[in-house]
Each structure stands twice: as C-alpha cells, then as structure tokens.
Structure 1
C-alpha cells in the first residue's frame, strides 16, 4: 500500500504478541496446561503473607484498622466506611440518563436469566411412607465486592446483586474501594447502580480488607455501627482479593477465585482478523496483567491478527495498558494442528471467557468442557457478556474454570435434604442398617434403629 501526505501510514503500537507452537506435539493434558500462556509474575502464594497480615489487622483492629488501610492504599481519611444513604440517593439522581437506561436494561436481562436458574425442589418417594426431599434455601446474608482501581464497574454491582436477589437473600451488603476524588466514597456510578437495585448497605472498603470485614464482621465502635458478618462473599478483584477469598473460604462460602480478567479465542481461517483483535484488545484494556490468548491452526490468521492488534492498540484510549497486557507472558498465539488439538488446548487453558470463531461454531462450543463462559460466533463478543447479554460476568480465572462455576443463583442457595420415613418404611430397611452398622463396627448405629421396634427383638 502506498501512502501520501493526504493518506499517511497508519500508526501502529509496539505489541510483542508471542507465539507458542504446539503443532506436531502429542501433548497430555498436564503438558498442555504447562504449555499455554500464564502470568509469570506474582502468584497467590506470593500474595498470601501480605493478605494474612491484612486479615489479622482487620480482625484485631476493626474500624480503626480499616481507616489505616484506607489511608495507606486509597489515600483517604475515613472515620467509618458505611456510605450515607443520602449519598447513594444523590448518586442516582445525578446519573447520566443514558447510563441509567443502559444499567436498567442490563438489570432487566440479568433478572430474566437469574430467575430461570433457580433449581426446583424435589420429593422422591422410595417406597410407601419413605420420602426423601431436597429443598433449596437462600443463605441469610451476603457480602458483595465490586472492584475499583483502573476502571469503574457498575456492571459488577448488577452481576453480584441480581442473582442474590433472585435466590431470595434478605440481607445484602456491598463493598467497593473508597475514591479520593469522590470524598472517600465509592465511585458515584457504583452507588447509583446499588440504588437502582435497592441496596442501601454499602461500604467504602477495598481489597483484601473488604473480604476480611465481610467474613469476620466488625463490632460496633465509637466510629459507627457494627458490620455484621456474612455467610457468602462474592465478586471479582485483583490477586489480593482472590487470595483473601481463598483464605476465608471455610469461614464463609465464596463464589470462585475471580481474579484478573482473561480471554481465549478459538479461531480458524474463517475468522475475521479485525474482530478477533478487537475482542482480544477489549479484555487487555482492563489491566496490564490481563490475558489475551488466540488459539488457531492458521498461521495466516495469526499474522493478520497480530497486525490488527498493532493498529488497534495504537488507536485505543488505554494504549500503554493494552500493549503491556498483550506483550506479557500471559498473552499470545497458540498454534495448533487443527480443531481437535485446539479444543484440547481450550480445555487445558480453561478460560474465564472463551470465544468460538470457527466454522459451525455452535457445534464446536458444545464440545468445550472447561470455560467460565462461552461466546459463540461473530456476534457474541465478551463485551456483550460484560454488560447486556443477561449472563453473569463474575467468572473463574487462572484455570479454575476446570472445577468451578461462574456466579449464579445457586451460589446463594443451600440444598437441604429432608428425610421423612414412617414406622413401616423404616422397618423395611432396618435389617440392612443393622448389617451395615456391624460391618463398619459402629453397632450403636444399628441399635438406634432397633430401639424403635422393642417388640420385634
């Protein structure tokens, strides 16, 4: 292509989007997991000592410790982190009408999907008078975390709150980092989203300290009222938030370790390079540590995508952040022999977000086993899921999608089993219970049954 002063050469960005070539290699699943791109920087283990110190400080120092941490990490002075109700109401009153309309549409779609997720209660009759039931009961109280930092995430308010409401949770607390430029309160768009959903208990607390405060609670003090502990903590965040959730798991339930964002795209030579690049870039703008991975059997596509990334990265607002993310060890092209190896690589990577841009994309998507969410075809980009698909964008990262799920209604529900046997129904299986109790050398188990039939001894 020739250029002239009227048509200058397009500006490009320096993007070192590396290549991992798996072609011709018959790799096992563990070997594939080791080969796909991963961050080489700080790990959960590295962050653990710092997070343990923060948790200990919050448990021992209460609101005073939170105030010290807010000053250290957020640069704000704080007496008590509870956001006044009038500040929440004012944020909604001052919200841009276009943003409000977008949030309301996102809420509407998320509610429809969440309402359909609630599992049904079941009653199974195993015999005359022998009924075993399973009933789903919401937890009493939840703590929802909405990150701050490089971006503002009112969408994460929706993703946390809507499934909790659909589950029937009655007590909901929300925390988001205090912002110096907003007088030590969370970003006003966060507060406005909370107001739209009827959430009035909002705290200006960020990072691991928010997770600790939710998990252990804080007693009332001169600074203000108590922060009651919760049963479940959910929400995405950085490595310190993910580490804190791991460390308090067992004290409270958690959704998953939803850390720094990641996208993988499985594409063949039918994919449009400009769209592939745009979607990789969309997640790279979250954070310098964000992961963007292309899995393809087409060298031509990989080259075209790399060229598009250079062009698009130079033109985007957060160019430096994007370039760092795309050039990091967590990002790059994975070249595979064909579709089968591509699917295997996707399952090994277990992406938070996985896009399928291949021929017959729905059939390919149906074969994927490990992913937080799967986006099918050219018109289902991750950005859709981030805001208005109706799905939830709080998803497992760092390969944990191989064994955990994204945030959903069941995160806030417990399955309680109810056993209701009549005398005759128990009598029918009493001999089996006695036999098994003796086989396990636990005879009192059997005696607890035979004691109910004294005349039959």
Structure 2
C-alpha cells in the first residue's frame, strides 16, 4: 500500500479475474461430467477436491441437531436476531402486482410471480459463512420462493460447518447438500439423482464456482459473477486513523485479491492510516492473506478537495463505500456508483455484513455502475398483462397495422385487421 495523489495516479486498481484457459476448460469438463454421471460425478469430484468420500450428499436431521449442540446459546440468539433484521429490511422491498384501467376499457398491468426454485451456494474453505446463508435465503423466502436448496462444501470431517447448518435451519431451508465447487453449480443447474434442478443460483464462491455459474447461465439464471471483496473509504480530517485502518483490513482479510482503498482530502490522515495498517496487520490471525491484499490491491489516494474525492469514488464504483467526513449526509446524493454506502463513523462495514439487515451480496469489480445488491426482486419475475377493449382496438388498430407494415410484417397487420372484417 502506498500513498499517491489522485492527480498523479495513472489508474485505479481493480481486481478482475476472468479465469485462466486451464480453469475454464476444467470447469467445462466438470459441468459436462455432472450432466452425464449425476451423483457419481459429484461424489468423485468431492473426493478429489475436498478429500471426502460421501455415502450420501444430503445433510441429515441428526447432523443439524449436532450443529445446534455445537453452538453457544448466545451465538444462536445473535444469528436469530440478525435473521430477523434481514427479514424486516427485505420485506420493505416487496412490490405487488398492479393494473391500471383507461376510459376506453384498456387494462394494462404487471403480474409479479416468485420463482419456483432457487439454489443457494455457501462457500467453505478458509472460513464458515452463516451470514451468506441468511443473505441469500431470506430474500428468496420473502419473495415467496417455495423450494430453496442450499449447497456447501464439506470439511475434512465430511460435514458442513455447524454455524452454516444452524443458519440454514433457522432460515427454514429444507434441502441441504454437502457439495461444493463447480460440481455443486452443475448439480443445481442440471440435476442429479439426488438433487433436483433449480431455476436460479445465487451465492459467492471461488473462481471455479464463478466460472461454473457463468457456464450454466442461460440454462438457469444467476445472481452475479462476484469478484474479490472491495472497500473504499472517503474520509476527511475528522476521521480517526485507527478506525479507518481497521475497516480497510476488514475486507483485506477476505481474500489475497481483496481491494482496500482510502480516498482522503487530508494528507496527515493518509500518513497515519498507513502506519496503523502496518501496526494492526501484525495482530491479525489472517495477516498473511490481508498483507498480500494490502500490498497488491491496497491504495491511499489524496484528493485536492471533496469534489475530486467524490469523482474518484464514482470512478471506482466500489462494492462497499464508507463516508467518514464532517457532514457525510451532504455527500450521499453525489455518490452515483456504490453497492452499499455506510454513512458516518459508527457505520462500519461489518454492520452491514452481519446485522443491520441490508444485503451483503453486492456488485464488485466496478459493476456497481449498472447493478444492485441482491434483493427480493432477484427472486421474482414479472409478466406484462394486456387487456385491450374493442373500443381501444377500433381507435388504434390502423395505427398498429401501419406500424407493422413499416417493419415489413404483413401478418402482424392482418392479425389486427382480421378483427374488423
């Protein structure tokens, strides 16, 4: 991580990873093999990549009971409260079907229908992510999805982490499978003897999961191709260096390719944050991961003023944005591109990750320029409703026929005129 003035910076770092050709070919082979061999292929890949031999892919009720027994009561209460906050927030996103009627009898509207089935991927690897369970499952439930399936890779003991199972059970998931990687995505998309296919797949994962989601897109829907985590902090002289550094590191510990950026108008703060990052890194359990992220994708930019700082933030279009300035709400309206915006000193990024209720599945790699956080709408589809009256068709029929003929589609025009012969 180094300090540079925005006027001297050649470009803003971004952590784009489209996968190597070798990775792409590997994913294609996995997907095709799961299509052909179903459960057998899934079990082979689970043994190969996770080192686990599975008799059954399904998580049993006994395993869920065991997971509850492994959790402290206090932690169970915290997960439950977080789930309640998330549900309350997402219930505000519900939009009903609607219709309008014109004087000539025309009725136009939109019918909102939940998806039939959704598959949720919850990553494993270096950490357990019960928060990802809640963030993906609860919006789908609020939307009205009847069948929600969860997949997550087993650990070396052949089990899904207790916290993940507890969160899934609390959220009401009835189908949970011990499957991870590209093979899990293929199983959700095309089905196996055990896992019935779904209509949409959501949830983050490693590069193989991301490539598999891209591979199956079109046969099923997906939420997004998520990249490494990002945070940008817009701060002035009122920000506290130790808090800013801690927030930068909160994302750096996710992944060696995570991106942590400070944009500030205060050179003194920039220098203090640089020192604080190095000091706090030493104390982190995941310091090796965080250190690589900070070294390769961390940066501190000094802006001439808040106008330049805001312009830079909009150029980055970060996944997470914190605004820690004297009057942060005054800047909110000028932020055009950010997945989630955290306002003020006490709105640290982990507040949104776990507990506030907003969704932490957010656009990365600058895609906040045109996309949004995961929401209830992602689990619904919309149908247009058209009821044209005889009066309306008589009023507009010749206009419609003329438009059709303009495009050279005579049958379209005659379909309208047939009503009046």
Identify the TM-score tier after normalising by the shorter chain.
Answer: over 0.9
Pick closer, same or farther for the CA change 1:334–1:241 going to 2, 3 Å. Answer: farther
Alignment-derived partner of residue 347 in structure 2:
380
| Displacement after TM superposition at 1:133 (Å) | 0.6
Alignment-derived partner of residue 252 in structure 1:
220
- In structure 2, how many angstroms separate the alpha carbons of the residues matched to 1:159 and 1:311? 33
TM-score normalised by structure 2 residue count:
0.96
- In structure 2, how many angstroms separate the alpha carbons of the residues matched to 1:240 and 1:343? 35
Alignment of 1:430-441 (within 5 A): 430-441=397-408
What number of residue pairs does the alignment pair up? 420
Alignment-derived partner of residue 10 in structure 1:
none
Q: Any conservation in 1 of the 2:119–2:188 contact (CA below 8 Å)?
A: yes
Alignment of 1:22-41 (within 5 A): 22-23=6-7, 35-39=11-15
Alignment-derived partner of residue 152 in structure 2:
176
Do structure 1's residue 333 and structure 2's residue 331 form an aligned pair? no
Alignment-derived partner of residue 299 in structure 1:
267
Q: Any conservation in 1 of the 2:15–2:227 contact (CA below 8 Å)?
A: no
Pick closer, same or farther for the CA change 1:185–1:21 going to 2, 3 Å. Answer: same
The answer for unaligned runs of 5 or more in structure 1 is 1-16, 26-33, 221-225
Cα displacement string for residues 33-55 of structure 1 (whole angstroms, at most 9, x for unaligned residues): x7111237x53355433322222
Runs of 4+ with deviation above 4 angstroms: none
Q: Matched residue of 2:335: which SS?
A: coil
Q: Any conservation in 2 of the 1:19–1:333 contact (CA below 8 Å)?
A: yes
| Displacement after TM superposition at 1:342 (Å) | 1.5
Do structure 1's residue 363 and structure 2's residue 330 form an aligned pair? yes
| Displacement after TM superposition at 1:354 (Å) | 0.8
Alignment-derived partner of residue 100 in structure 1:
76
Q: Any conservation in 1 of the 2:15–2:228 contact (CA below 8 Å)?
A: no
Alignment-derived partner of residue 3 in structure 1:
none
1:73 to 49, 67, 73: 49
Alignment-derived partner of residue 134 in structure 1:
110
Do structure 1's residue 206 and structure 2's residue 180 form an aligned pair? yes
TM-score normalised by structure 1 residue count:
0.88
| Displacement after TM superposition at 1:24 (Å) | 6.4
Q: Any conservation in 2 of the 1:147–1:236 contact (CA below 8 Å)?
A: yes
- In structure 2, how many angstroms separate the alpha carbons of the residues matched to 1:430 and 1:267? 60
RMSD: 1.7
- In structure 2, how many angstroms separate the alpha carbons of the residues matched to 1:378 and 1:239? 34
Pick closer, same or farther for the CA change 1:179–1:24 going to 2, 3 Å. Answer: closer
| Displacement after TM superposition at 1:60 (Å) | 2.2
Cα displacement string for residues 180-230 of structure 1 (whole angstroms, at most 9, x for unaligned residues): 1xx312111111111111212001111222112111111x2xxxxx31111
Pick closer, same or farther for the CA change 1:49–1:230 going to 2, 3 Å. Answer: same
The answer for unaligned runs of 5 or more in structure 2 is none
Q: Any conservation in 2 of the 1:24–1:337 contact (CA below 8 Å)?
A: no
Alignment-derived partner of residue 198 in structure 2:
230
Q: Matched residue of 2:277: which SS?
A: helix
